[in-house]
Chain A
Amino acid sequence: QKEVEQDPGPLSVPEGAIVSLNCTYSNSAFQYFMWYRQYSRKGPELLMYTYSSGNKEDGRFTAQVDKSSKYISLFIRDSQPSDSATYLCAMSAPGDTDKLIFGTGTRLQVFP
Chain B
Amino acid sequence: DTGVSQNPRHKITKRGQNVTFRCDPISEHNRLYWYRQTLGQGPEFLTYFQNEAQLEKSRLLSDRFSAERPKGSFSTLEIQRTEQGDSAMYLCASSPQGGQGLYNEQFFGPGTRLTVL
- State the A residues within 8 Å of B (CB): 4, 6, 8, 32, 36, 41-46, 49, 51, 88, 90, 92, 94, 96-105
Given the interface contacts A44-B108, A97-B48, does A32 sit within 8 Å of B103 by beta carbon? Answer: yes
Given the interface contacts A43-B108, A43-B110, A98-B95, does A88 sit within 8 Å of B42 by beta carbon? Answer: yes
Contact call A45/B108, Cβ cutoff below 8 A: yes
Contact call B106/A6, Cβ cutoff below 8 A: no
Q: How far is the CB of A95 from chain B (nearest CB, A)?
A: 10
User: Chain B residue with minimal CB distance to A2?
Assistant: B42
Q: Could you say which of B4, B35, B113 has the most chain A C-beta atoms within 10 Å of its C-beta?
A: B35
Contact call A103/B95, Cβ cutoff below 8 A: no
Contact call A43/B95, Cβ cutoff below 8 A: no
User: Chain B residue with minimal CB distance to A107?
Assistant: B40
Contact of B41 among A32, A36, A99, A104 (CB under 8 A): A104
User: Chain B residue with minimal CB distance to A45?
Assistant: B108
Q: How far is the CB of A87 from chain B (nearest CB, A)?
A: 10
Contacts of B42 in A (CB 8 A): 4, 6, 88, 90, 102-105
User: Chain B residue with minimal CB distance to A31?
Assistant: B103
Contacts of B110 in A (CB 8 A): 41-43
Contact call A49/B103, Cβ cutoff below 8 A: yes
Contacts of B43 in A (CB 8 A): 44, 88, 100, 102
Contact call B101/A99, Cβ cutoff below 8 A: no
Instruction: Known A-B contacts: A43-B109, A44-B91, A88-B42. Give 9 more (CB < 8 A).
Output: A46-B107, A92-B103, A96-B55, A97-B48, A98-B103, A98-B106, A99-B33, A105-B40, A105-B41
20 A-B pairs in the complex with CB atoms less than 8 angstroms apart: A8-B40, A32-B103, A41-B110, A41-B111, A43-B4, A43-B108, A43-B111, A44-B43, A45-B108, A46-B105, A46-B106, A49-B103, A49-B105, A94-B101, A98-B95, A100-B35, A100-B43, A100-B106, A102-B44, A104-B42
How many Å lie between the Cα of A32 and that of B102 in the bound state?
9
